[in-house]
Chains A and B, each alone.
Chain A
Amino acid sequence: GIQVEQSPPDLILQEGANSTLRCNFSDSVNNLQWFHQNPWGQLINLFYIPSGTKQNGRLSATTVATERYSLLYISSSQTTDSGVYFCAVGEYGNKLVFGAGTILRVKS
């Protein structure tokens, strides 16, 4: 099956700093999503981005499908950005395969 690797596994930032999270995947995909898991465990949809670039406020994402990677950019980080960020890709059918996540801690 498809493999999904996220890096870095852990990241500590000072409030106001920028960061880039990476997601590599091993095969062609028809779906790629970025999620933020909040402290209560809920997965919040950030981007649906099988290809191209999208922006939403301080967050943006780029997927280069031909090179099998996606990047999530967080600018001017805030303490509320802390949590776990997951990349998930769509395999055959409707299934999502999740990466192991990046744990982000933003310090004030």
Chain B
Amino acid sequence: AQSVAQPEDQVNVAEGNPLTVKCTYSVSGNPYLFWYVQYPNRGLQFLLKYITGDNLVKGSYGFEAEFNKSQTSFHLKKPSALVSDSALYFCAVRDGGNNDMRFGAGTRLTVKP
């Protein structure tokens, strides 16, 4: 079965600095990888996904993620963080043919002014 690990519960960065939120995955087939963001008392919002093709995926709000097959990673990045980026971030994976999407436990990003 597929699984996702987000090794950091919390990431703190200063506004204007680059940010990285880490994600590693495990699947037996082809990985479909996703990043979602959750603001307080709101549902999950889609940021970006990797299905196939270019390893560097660009998404909403200036976020991007790089698929690394050899390291089984899909880290989320942004060149310059904003205070408004502070939220809970979830990485998720589907094993190509499966129906269910497995989520990581989430990483809380705090961007300080």
Physical interaction between A and B: no
Binding site for A on B (CB under 8 A): none
Binding site for B on A (CB under 8 A): none
